[in-house]
Amino acid sequence: MNIQWFPGHMAKTRRLIAENLKLVDVIIELLDARIPYSSRNPEIDSLVNNKPRLVAFNKSDLADDKISSQWIQWYAEQGIKCILINSITGKGLNDVKTRARELVSEKIERDRAKGKIFTPVRTMVVGIPNVGKSSFINKIVGKATALTGDRPGVTRGKQWIRINSEIELLDTPGILWPKFEDQEVGMNLAFTGAIKDDIMDTAEVAMELLYRLSKLYPKELCARFKLEPDLIKNIEPLELLETVGRKRGCLISKGQIDYSRISAIVLDEFRGGKIGRITLEKPNERVEKIQQ
């Protein structure tokens, strides 16, 4: 399945980021901790140029801690500071405020030396759809100031939001990029909900997700769907989806599988962390793939 999704408002968002960049001191880029490579928009690099950047792995409570640590080290080697956060519980958000100020500490001191009146550090929040930007902003500000939703494409306009007397945030809508050169990236975005379900064949997405989990997290998959470990070793993706469908009683007339229902269940349970703490890509695997 060839996955592409770039509605018109995303092109507008790209222009919005470029136009407002001169107003910003620090970029806060949110990534999905379950897909730290796939959720990073390659166009952000060219858009933000040399602006100081802080990367926050959101939804860290849903990701594999061990692999998250590997990704933080990998990004550090690229010269990018990373923080694990949870925009629902607030984990790591105080570190975001501290690190944002640290990134522009030299600029603040230069301004003070010149006698300039202190102004808040202005930050821009960027990230793909459904990465949790609005929830992040609501939590870090302490009240519901930004529109939130559990589907991609909710935030549409530009909003400056005061965190405290020292830091302001510029919220922007989620932005993808016009073409996914790597379809594995597109599939990862589909798994996590960054792409709208209604433009895809969700049965194919769920089938591929189950197959990936059978290789990466077989114990968690078997425990959640009451599967026998030997069963999933060499099973075909379609048969695996059908087996899970029967286990959950997703049947229609004459015992046929209700593919739509079981696909929705599989995707919802993965996205909600019910299958386990899962990360779908590792740094060394992504680097090897890029170099091929």
Q: pLDDT tens-digit profile of 108-161?
A: 788 778 877 767 888 888 888 788 888 888 888 875 454 444 444 444 455 677
State the CATH class of domain 8-171: alpha beta
Q: Say whether 2 counts as a known binding-site residue.
A: no
196-201 contacts, C-beta under 8 A, 24 or more apart: 196/5, 196/151, 196/152, 196/153, 197/267, 199/5, 200/1, 200/3, 201/1
| Residue 134 annotated as part of some ligand binding site | yes
Would the annotation count 174 as a binding residue?
A: yes
* Topology, domain 201-291: Conserved Hypothetical Protein Ylqf; Chain: A; domain 2 (1.10.1580)
The radius of gyration of the chain's CA atoms, rounded to the nearest angstrom, is 21
61 labelled binding-site residue: yes
Q: Is 105 annotated as a binding residue?
A: no
CA–CA gap between residue 272 and residue 274 (Å, rounded): 6
pTM more than 0.85 = no
Question: What is the residue whose two structure tokens read 């909710």?
Answer: 154
| 39 annotated as belonging to a binding site for a ligand | no
Distance of CA 275 to the CA centre of its chain: 18
Tokens matching residue 44: 């952000």
The pLDDT, as a whole number, for residue 49 is 74
Check whether 164 is labelled as a binding-site residue: no
Under a CB-based contact definition with an 8 Å cutoff, are residues 188 and 35 in contact?
A: yes
Most trustworthy range by pLDDT among 65-69, 181-185, 283-287: 65-69
132 is in an annotated binding site: yes
SS3 sequence of 168-195: EEEECCCCCCCCCCCHHHHHHHHHHCCC
Where do the domains of the chain lie? 8-171, 201-291
Angle, in degrees to the nearest 10, between helices 202-216 and 237-247: 100
Is 214 part of any known ligand binding site? no
Check the annotation: does 69 bind a ligand: no
The reply, when asked if residue 219 is annotated as ligand binding, is no
Let me know if the fold of 8-171 is the same as that of 201-291: no
* Strand duo 167-171 + 159-162: pairing: antiparallel
